[in-house]
Structures are given as C-alpha cells and as structure tokens.
C-alpha cells in the first residue's frame, strides 16, 4: 500500500503535449536568422489532382477560383524515420520529483519532455516516429508512424514512465539496443536518452550494441542525460550523508567535501572517455544537463535531419 500511495502522489506532467509545444515554439522563435529558419514543411507548387489520390491536400480556395482540383505539393515530404529510445532505470528517476513542470525536472522528466518536443518537430515535418522504453526489461516498443493517434499514444507512454518509477531496476541497455537494431527494418535516426550508469563490462557491451545499429545503417545520437550540479560537480552540503545506489541498494556514509575533488575528476574523465569512444564508433555524443533546457536537443535534431539522406 505504501508503494501505491507513493505512486499516486507522483502526478507527472499535467499536459505534456502543451508543454512540448511551448518548448518548441520558444525554440523556433529563438532561431531568428539561423539556417534553420522556416524549417517546417513549406508549400512548393500545385499539381493537378488525379482521381483516387488523397483529398487531404486539395487547395479548395483555388478550386473556388478555377473550378479545377489542384493539390499542394510540399518541399519536405515524409522522408525521415526517427526512433526515440529512453532509459527508464531507477537512476533516471533522480532527483525525486513529485510534480513535474519546466522548472522542476529530474532525468526521466527531462528525457520525456525532450522526447515530446522532438516528436512535436517530427509531427510538423510529417516524419514518422517510433519509441522504445526500457529498464531491466523491454517495457515498451512502437514502430515508426506519423498519425495523430500514434502521437497521442506515445505521449501517454512517456507520462506513464514518469508516473510509475522503477524500484531498484538496473539497466541492461546493451541487450535492448540489440533488440531495437533487429526491429528497425528501415534506416532511421535513433535518439537514445540515458544517464550511462553501468559497469565497465556493460559499457563495452553497450558500444557493441550501438555498433549493431550503425552496422544496420542507422544514424545514432546518444544524449547523455545527467544533473550537472549533483552528479558532476557533487554539490552537496558538507554534512554526513548516506549516498545510496538506487539500482543496487548499496550505500556509503561520508562527508561530501572529503571526496568532492577526486569525484569530480573521475566523473569528468569518464564523460570525456565516453565522448572519445562515441567519436571512434561514429556515434554523435551530446551532453544533456537537465538544468540547461532543450535547445541543444532540438538543434541536434535539426542538424541530423538536414544530413539525413
């Protein structure tokens, strides 16, 4: 009953779709004169409507003037398939949050809102999106589609991941990435949101799995999701604290200041090694501090989309 009570107290996002739209609108307005200005699907020309074609893009205003049926053609037709992959292990639910909003996010909340914002852009471009969510098990998979019903279903799954936090669930990223590589039958842009908490052995297996995706001609972007203040700078008050591994339950009691310097050096070295290894494997590596906002994620999407061909 205690677990049920705790779950019920976590409200998730009140309106994830609206919040994602606000994030995207703010991002677009900030682009100004960048090369991506006006990136959304733009009208190119008219073509004569042929019987049997979809009536979705018929220009009815032109029909009223000419009494002839024409459809609108666009510069950007659906030509991108994007698969969003989200780590839902226990460590992704740090720090503990009760009610999520743009100024109150943990790693899973940040990843979910970032994914929803990318989905918003994909929707505007009429691109197809699929999704995988995993922890110690493969929790959810959906193939790439572009329909509104599909979009709403994915938003619901994102919010569900936030509202139902995993208890002591470790990550087996590599095993799920191999499954995803087998499931994706057509070349796709793969975005992976994970905090990269795993053992050295699992890390090597993970890069082998990422190579599996690359071998199948997919473009892979790793968004290394973390809380810079706590997980990189180790910014805690110097009082005796118990630090608990939420995935294994192991803990250590210590004063933060006693290990702050050596901890920060070790984690910075680990981050740099990850970036170097991603470069060696041809994987785009993006540091995603949950306190920095979403511009880096959305810009990465636009850059990768422009290169996708």
Question: pLDDT (tens digit, 9 = 90+) per residue, 224-267?
Answer: 999 988 887 677 677 777 666 656 667 677 667 777 778 788 88
Question: In the predicted model, is pLDDT for residue 85 greater than 80?
Answer: yes
Question: In the predicted model, is pLDDT for residue 38 greater than 50?
Answer: no
Mean pLDDT value across residues 42-52 = 65
Mean pLDDT value across residues 126-132 = 94
- CA dihedral sign of residues 99, 101, 103, 107: positive
Question: In the predicted model, is pLDDT for residue 297 greater than 90?
Answer: yes
Pairing of strands 43-48, 284-289: unpaired
The reported pLDDT for the residue numbered 59 is 80
- CA dihedral sign of residues 4, 6, 247, 195: positive
**Which residue has 């920095």 as its token pair?**
292
Structure-token pair, residue 263:
């901890």
Considering only residues 309 and 209, tell me which one the structure prediction assigns the higher pLDDT.
209
**Whole-number mean pLDDT of the chain?**
82
The reported pLDDT for the residue numbered 172 is 76
**Which residue has 């996010």 as its token pair?**
105
Region at 72 (left for phi over 0; alpha for psi -120 to 50; beta for the rest):
beta
Region at 243 (left for phi over 0; alpha for psi -120 to 50; beta for the rest):
beta
Contact residues for 104 (Cβ-Cβ < 8 A; gap 6+): 97
* Model confidence pLDDT, tens digit, residues 87-97: 998 889 988 88
Contact (CB, 8 A) for 194 and 188 = no
The band of 177, judged by pLDDT with boundaries at 50, 70 and 90, is very high
- Out of 53-62, 65-74, 153-162, 181-190, which region has the weakest mean confidence (pLDDT)? 65-74
Pairing of strands 251-254, 189-194: unpaired
Pairing of strands 189-194, 219-226: parallel
Angstrom distance (rounded) from CA 76 to CA 175:
35
Structure-token pair, residue 32:
């100004």
Angstrom distance (rounded) from CA 151 to CA 129:
8
- With vertex at residue 158, the alpha carbon angle to CA 285 and CA 206, rounded to the nearest 5 degrees, is 35
Structure-token pair, residue 183:
């499931």
Considering only residues 95 and 70, tell me which one the structure prediction assigns the higher pLDDT.
95
The reported pLDDT for the residue numbered 275 is 94
Cα 287 to Cα 49, 195, 270, distances in angstroms: 47, 10, 12
Q: Which contiguous run of DSSP H or E holds residue 71?
A: strand 70-74
The pTM of this model reads 0.80
Angstrom distance (rounded) from CA 175 to CA 136:
9
Structure-token pair, residue 69:
């049926």
Among the listed residues 124, 149, 113, the one whose alpha carbon sits nearest the alpha carbon of residue 290? 113
3-state helix, strand, coil in the chain (%, to 5): 45, 20, 35
Half-sphere exposure for 22 (CA within 13 Å, toward CB) = 9
The reported pLDDT for the residue numbered 71 is 77
Angstrom distance (rounded) from CA 101 to CA 23:
12
**Which residue has 């699907």 as its token pair?**
41
């Amino acid at each position: 009953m205690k677990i049920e009570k705790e779950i019920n107290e976590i409200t998730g996002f009140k309106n994830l779709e609206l919040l994602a739209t606000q994030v995207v609108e703010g991002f677009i307005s900030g682009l100004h004169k960048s090369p991506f200005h006006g990136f959304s699907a733009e009208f190119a020309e008219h073509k004569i409507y042929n019987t049997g074609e979809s009536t979705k893009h018929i220009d009815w205003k032109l029909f009223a003037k000419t009494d002839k049926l024409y459809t609108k053609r666009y510069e950007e037709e659906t030509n991108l398939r994007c698969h969003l992959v989200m780590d839902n292990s226990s460590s992704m639910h740090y720090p503990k949050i009760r009610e999520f909003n743009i100024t109150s996010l943990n790693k899973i909340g940040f990843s979910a809102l970032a994914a929803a914002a990318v989905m918003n852009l994909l929707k505007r471009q009429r691109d197809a999106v699929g999704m995988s969510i995993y922890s110690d098990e493969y929790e959810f998979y959906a193939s790439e589609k572009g329909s509104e019903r599909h979009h709403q279903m994915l938003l619901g799954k994102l919010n569900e991941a936030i509202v139902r936090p995993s208890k002591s669930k470790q990550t087996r990223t590599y095993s799920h990435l191999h499954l995803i590589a087998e499931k994706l039958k057509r070349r796709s842009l793969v975005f992976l949101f994970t905090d990269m908490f795993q053992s050295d052995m699992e890390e090597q297996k993970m890069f082998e799995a990422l190579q599996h995706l690359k071998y199948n001609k997919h473009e892979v972007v790793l968004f290394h999701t973390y809380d810079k203040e706590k997980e990189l700078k180790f910014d805690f008050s110097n009082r005796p604290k118990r630090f608990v591994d939420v995935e294994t339950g192991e803990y250590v009691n210590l004063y933060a200041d006693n290990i702050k310097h050596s901890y920060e050096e070790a984690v910075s070295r680990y981050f740099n090694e990850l970036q170097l290894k991603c470069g060696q494997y041809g994987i785009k590596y993006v540091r995603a501090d949950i306190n920095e906002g979403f511009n880096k994620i959305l810009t990465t999407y636009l850059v990768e989309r422009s290169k996708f061909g």
